[in-house]
Amino acid sequence: MVTGGLLSGNVAAAKSTPKRDYYGELGVRTCINAAGAYTTLTGCLMPQEVVDAYAAVSDEFVSLNELHDAVGKKIAGLVGCEAAMVSAGASSAMTLATAGVLTGTDEDKAKRIPVDLSGMKNEVIVQKEHIVGYSHAIINCGVKLVIVESRQELLNAINENTAMLYFTDEHNFDGPVKDEEFVRIGKEHDIPTLNDAAASIPPKGSLSKYTDMGFDLVAISGGKAIRGAQSTGLLLGRADLIKAARFNAPPSSDRIGRGMKVNKEELVSMWIALERFMEMDMDAEYKRWQTQIAWLEETISSVKAVKAESYIPQRPNNVPTLKLSWDRAQIPASGFDIQTALRAGTPSVEIARTHEGGFNITTWMLKPEQLEIVANRVKEELQKARV
Ligand SMILES: *Cc1c(COP(=O)(O)O)cnc(C)c1O
């Protein structure tokens, strides 16, 4: 049995039961998310306060630009950076950031990207290790990515066409040039720097760390750990560049960002989600997650031939995690096989496969009553696969 203390927490605020079973009518099964903040699983669950804000503001008209300004100011105040805007996800923040760097507030330029970049700088430099799946957000603006493999190559690549230097926080320790030096190089050459820190929260400190360090622009997901709407993100940084990014965003119509709309509901609920996140006692959250993971570790490692290890990854998903692997001679199933079986079961349970062929479990997206279900289903499928 799991004790009340282990289960208590703020993850699952009581939500009113809808009169209609929307998912059921659609024939879409819900799942228990023991994987983490993944877009394919719809990211996160918005806390009740955030849902309330989303619904409450939906009933009045306002000026979208005025609301953008006001929410941006609140968010910049909460984070402690010069300026901020809400975007349609971190990926859209990166596109709007790049567009803003290219065009400033020049309407003719803003209308021409990504097709005609004449009169604009058209190269963005990035270290090879920092190319993750999101560089498309940058090249959407028509720029060329210049990929470098050493500090010297980075310095050599800088020229009069260099628009921006682009960095991915989770690969800080993988590339030859680390964040502080990267910022210094940008400043020395008067070239704006962008840090994709989309999934670098928690820790909470990541919200202000990179603008404080001197990055001109920082992109963060609103719908991961902050638990705003999944379709939101934050662009933080220099006031002139945020203004230029906004210039490329709705409500202006003939712009690269026109399809990246955020409306009053996303804007206000993002602010409330961030306010709530800033007030959260993260030490208590970590303690709760750690207790849950320790319990899972003990429970699941009771299955013979299964190895369960708890750890906290640096970036992304900097939360207590249980890594599972097993002796394939005794349990001849791949991580994919177990994942498929867990997904197909009732209830459906999602876990995150690891490169080593096993999988990871996290508890930060679980509702309290789901912890035991996850343990039981995982044990069951591993035992079933035994020869
Ligand atoms: C999730 C993620 C993104 C995209 O964020 P969205 O808010 O889903 O647009 C970009 N970069 C990294 C490193 C991410 O993990």
Q: Is 196 in the pocket of ligand 1 (CB under 6 A)?
A: yes
CATH for 376? 3.90.1150.110
User: Among candidates 65, 22, 13, which has minimal Cα distance to 261?
Assistant: 65
Do 71 and 164 fall within a single domain? yes
Q: Considering the domain boundaries, does residue 293 fall inside one?
A: yes
Name the residue with the closest Cα to ligand 1, atom 11.
198
Tell me which of 262, 279, 296 is where a domain ends: 279
Name the residue with the closest Cα to ligand 1, atom 8.
89
Distance of CA 286 from the midpoint of ligand 1 (Å): 23
Q: Is 233 in the pocket of ligand 1 (CB under 6 A)?
A: yes
Do 36 and 91 fall within a single domain? no
Do 113 and 246 fall within a single domain? yes
Q: Do the Cβ atoms of 320 and 371 come closer than 8 Å?
A: no
Q: Would you state the torsion angle of the CA atoms of residues 31, 33, 39, 43, taken in this order, to the nearest 10 degrees?
A: 110
Measured from the Cα of 223, ligand 1's closest atom is 7
Q: Considering the domain boundaries, does residue 16 fall inside one?
A: no
Do 303 and 330 fall within a single domain? yes
Q: Is 132 in the pocket of ligand 1 (CB under 6 A)?
A: yes
Mutate to test the pocket of ligand 1, among 85, 91, 234, 317 (most ligand atoms within 8 A of CB): 91
Q: Which amino acid is at 141?
A: C
Q: Is 91 in the pocket of ligand 1 (CB under 6 A)?
A: yes
Q: Considering the domain boundaries, does residue 83 fall inside one?
A: yes
Distance CA 99, CA 120 (A): 10
**pTM for the whole structure:** 0.94
**Which parts of the chain fold into alpha helices (H)?**
4-7, 22-26, 48-56, 64-79, 90-103, 107-112, 136-139, 151-157, 179-188, 206-213, 239-247, 264-279, 282-300, 335-344, 371-384
Q: Is 43 in the pocket of ligand 1 (CB under 6 A)?
A: no
Q: Is 42 in the pocket of ligand 1 (CB under 6 A)?
A: no
Tell me which of 279, 305, 330 is where a domain ends: 279
Q: Do the Cβ atoms of 126 and 153 come closer than 8 Å?
A: no
Q: Is 247 in the pocket of ligand 1 (CB under 6 A)?
A: no
Question: pLDDT tens-digit profile of 263-322?
Answer: 999 999 999 999 999 999 999 999 999 999 999 999 999 999 999 999 999 888 899 999
Mutate to test the pocket of ligand 1, among 38, 39, 44 (most ligand atoms within 8 A of CB): 39
Do 157 and 240 fall within a single domain? yes
Q: Considering the domain boundaries, does residue 33 fall inside one?
A: yes
Which residue matches tokens 């994942």? Answer: 339
Q: Considering the domain boundaries, does residue 8 fall inside one?
A: no
What per-residue confidence (pLDDT) applies to 18? 67
What per-residue confidence (pLDDT) applies to 15? 59
Q: Considering the domain boundaries, does residue 111 fall inside one?
A: yes
Q: Do the Cβ atoms of 31 and 348 come closer than 8 Å?
A: yes
- Residue 236 neighbours by CB under 8 Å, 6+ apart: 75, 76, 79, 81, 83, 84, 207, 210, 211, 217, 218, 219, 220, 242
Q: Considering the domain boundaries, does residue 119 fall inside one?
A: yes
Mode of pairing for the β-strands spanning 306-311 and 321-326: antiparallel
Do 93 and 221 fall within a single domain? yes
User: Among candidates 109, 10, 54, which has minimal Cα distance to 271?
Assistant: 54
Do 168 and 254 fall within a single domain? yes
Do 38 and 173 fall within a single domain? no
Please count the structural domains in the chain: 2
Do 234 and 189 fall within a single domain? yes
Distance of CA 69 from the midpoint of ligand 1 (Å): 24
Measured from the Cα of 199, ligand 1's closest atom is 15
Name the residue with the closest Cα to ligand 1, atom 13.
198
User: Among candidates 292, 306, 293, which has minimal Cα distance to 3?
Assistant: 292
Distance of CA 328 from the midpoint of ligand 1 (Å): 34
Do 215 and 171 fall within a single domain? yes
DSSP code string of 127-160: EGGG--TTTHHHHTTTPEEEEESSHHHHHHH--T
Distance CA 356, CA 275 (A): 38
Distance of CA 22 from the midpoint of ligand 1 (Å): 28
Do 367 and 269 fall within a single domain? no
Q: Is 228 in the pocket of ligand 1 (CB under 6 A)?
A: no
Q: Which residues of the chain have pLDDT under 50?
A: 1-13
Q: Considering the domain boundaries, does residue 246 fall inside one?
A: yes
Tell me which of 279, 294, 318 is where a domain ends: 279
CATH for 123? 3.40.640.10
Q: Do the Cβ atoms of 338 and 374 come closer than 8 Å?
A: no
Domain limits for position 81: 48-279
Angle at CA 125, nearest 5°, toward 120 and 129?
Answer: 155
Do 199 and 94 fall within a single domain? yes
Mutate to test the pocket of ligand 1, among 174, 196, 206, 319 (most ligand atoms within 8 A of CB): 196
